[in-house]
Amino acid sequence: GAVVSQHPSRVICKSGTSVKIECRSLDFQATTMFWYRQFPKQSLMLMATSNEGSKATYEQGVEKDKFLINHASLTLSTLTVTSAHPEDSSFYICSALNPGGAYQETQYFGPGTRLLVL
């Protein structure tokens, strides 16, 4: 089946540094990818929709200058957490929309990236 990878799976960084998370669709081209965030013991939250070749669409309350999204190719979207702070520590999950999937526009999820900001 379709596979979406994320890298890194875990990252620990110092406060003030920037962290880049990659999301790749390995065997299909994804014009649309989504980025989610999950706080401990809470459910998923959609952060933004990433469209290849255009600017990402951010959900209300998500700072676009804080969470930079680049969808430069049909198989890669990156999320950069700029000037990370401890409150940015979270589990970040991407998903990629496969227009040729089992269902119309099936969405496949990456395994997630656990970010810890010290």
Partner 1 sequence: KNEVEQSPQNLTAQEGEFITINCSYSVGISALHWLQQHPGGGIVSLFMLSSGKKKHGRLIATINIQEKHSSLHITASHPRDSAVYICAATGNQFYFGTGTSLTVIP
Binding residues for partner 1, rule CB under 8 A, total 25
With CB under 8 A as the contact rule, the residue among 29, 31, 38, 82 that binds partner 1 is 38
Q: Quick one: 29 or 49, whose CB is closer to partner 1? A: 49
Phi, psi of 22 (to 5 degrees): -105, 145
Could you say whether residue 44 binds partner 1 (CB under 8 A)?
yes
Question: Could you give the CA distance from residue 13 to residue 51 in angstroms, rounded to a whole number?
Answer: 28
With CB under 8 A as the contact rule, the residue among 14, 41, 86, 87 that binds partner 1 is 41
Could you say whether residue 43 binds partner 1 (CB under 8 A)?
yes
Q: Which of 71, 106, 85, 78 is nearest to 20 (CA)?
A: 78
Report the amino acid identity of residue 41.
Answer: K
With CB under 8 A as the contact rule, the residue among 11, 45, 74, 116 that binds partner 1 is 45
Could you say whether residue 28 binds partner 1 (CB under 8 A)?
no
Could you say whether residue 29 binds partner 1 (CB under 8 A)?
no
Could you say whether residue 15 binds partner 1 (CB under 8 A)?
no
